[in-house]
Amino acid sequence: MDLLNTLVDKGLRRELPTRDEALAVLATSDDDLLDVVAAAGKVRRHWFGRRVKLNYLVNLKSGLCPEDCSYCSQRLGSTADILTYTWLKPEEAAQAAAAGLAGGAKRVCLVASGRGPTDRDVDRVSRTIKAIKEAHEDAEVCACLGLLSEGQAERLRAAGADAYNHNLNTSEATYGDITTTHTYADRVDTVRKAHAAGLSACSGLIAGMGESDEDLVDVVFALRALDPDSVPVNFLIPFEGTPLAKEWNLTPQHCLRILAMVRFVCPDVEVRIAGGREVHLRSLQPLALHLANSIFLGDYLTSEGQAGKADLEMIADAGFEVEGAGEATLPEHRVCGGRPEDGACGSGTGAPCAASASSATSPAAGGPRPDLVAVRRRGAGTDLAPNA
């Protein structure tokens, strides 16, 4: 297929595809799916070999959020039956992080619900970062605390944070349809603050919220322009008790097409399969490793994921290997200061780095699968052992 040959050539040169080319990837048929995966897989292997980076989430504060993001089980007004608790103590968070690191994770992602951190919150998270680093000096730590105020990114960096996550989630044109308590521009501003502070920027999207293929391309092109080092691709988990509980729009095949499109647009970036992979990719998860070079190990913020042991077996059975703590995640040109205008798609900060053919809203094969949405009842905030 001429389209795929063109996209592979562009990916190996770090050249941005056209919007029409990106849309064409999402419009390919299921008959062509393996060809799409194989083509994007060439780009993935060129920049990242067969390595898979493991990341581990620690939910520092669950629920209790004043924001109204429609996709989120922790939102204002959510009736989802999730764990709710206020801030973990630094030693509790460090203990939770240790479980993930022992399970093979290279990066710990410290997440707290809320609009954004107060200065006191930044102090608390800074103590947690220092506790993790003292016990695991090679561990990467990414903070995800919401919208940042002036100077907060610098303080997190000084405390030892390596990265900051803040997702764009969807296109600018449709952002107001999913959230009203803050703006798309607020999110862009926080990613830029992380960049400016020397943190490795992590920013991604959520697919399956009823958006069009054009919206998906818009947000991925916006991410390319923002230049993050890692792009998490989330697939909506339709929690009962949230406004999007009935949005079962994804097939495993379309999820793979979305991941392939992201790889072609950001070829040398850490593409991470994030929340919802078990719910929507299901038995096709191993194929997704040919597109993404990073996954979350074990559970998510408020939902349970595949068993950590099963994650490791899946990686090995698919012919991939877990990335070691001493291995650089990103290609050398990104760490050493590649510029976006030269085709790079990353910060170059030197920081440790880390459906139907026409629409993303096609009916899911076999219909909705609420049986696959399991609320997290173990790990951080509970007395039960974590899944790692």
pLDDT at position 360, please? 40
For the residues 96-119, what does the mean pLDDT come to?
A: 96
CATH of domain 18-372: 3.20.20.70
What does the pLDDT look like over 61-75, one tens digit per residue?
998 899 999 999 999
Question: Does position 319 have pLDDT exceeding 50, yes or no?
Answer: yes
What does the pLDDT look like over 342-365, one tens digit per residue?
444 444 433 333 333 333 434 445
CA distance readout (Å), 346 to 49, 202, 218, 381: 18, 10, 18, 34
For the residues 1-17, what does the mean pLDDT come to?
A: 96
pLDDT at position 132, please? 97
Question: Does position 7 have pLDDT exceeding 60, yes or no?
Answer: yes
Percent of the chain with pLDDT over 90: 82
First to last CA, the chain: 41
Residues 319, 368: Cα–Cα separation, whole Å: 31
pLDDT at position 383, please? 82
Going by C-alpha positions, the residue among 203, 195, 180, 355 that lies closest to residue 270 is 203
pLDDT at position 361, please? 39
pLDDT at position 366, please? 60
For the residues 181-205, what does the mean pLDDT come to?
A: 97
Q: Are 89 and 139 contacting, i.e. CB atoms less than 8 angstroms apart? A: no
**Which of 48-57, 333-342, 367-376 shows the lowest per-residue confidence on average (mean pLDDT)?**
333-342
pLDDT at position 377, please? 81
Do the strands 230-235 and 270-273 form a parallel or antiparallel pair, or are they unpaired? parallel
The identity of residue 230, as a single letter, is S
pLDDT at position 385, please? 85
Tokens 């050398």, residue located: 332
pLDDT at position 157, please? 98
pLDDT at position 244, please? 95
Q: Report the catalytic residues.
A: 65, 69, 72, 109, 142, 202, 272
Angle at 290 between CA 387 and CA 2, to 5 degrees: 155
**295 forms bridges with which residues in the sheet?**
54, 273
pLDDT at position 379, please? 86
For the residues 262-270, what does the mean pLDDT come to?
A: 98
**359 forms bridges with which residues in the sheet?**
356
pLDDT at position 355, please? 35
What does the pLDDT look like over 285-303, one tens digit per residue?
999 999 999 999 999 999 9
Q: What is the pTM of this model?
A: 0.89
- Going by pLDDT thresholds of 50, 70 and 90, the confidence category of residue 336 is low
For the residues 147-167, what does the mean pLDDT come to?
A: 98
Q: 363 or 245: which carries more pLDDT confidence?
A: 245
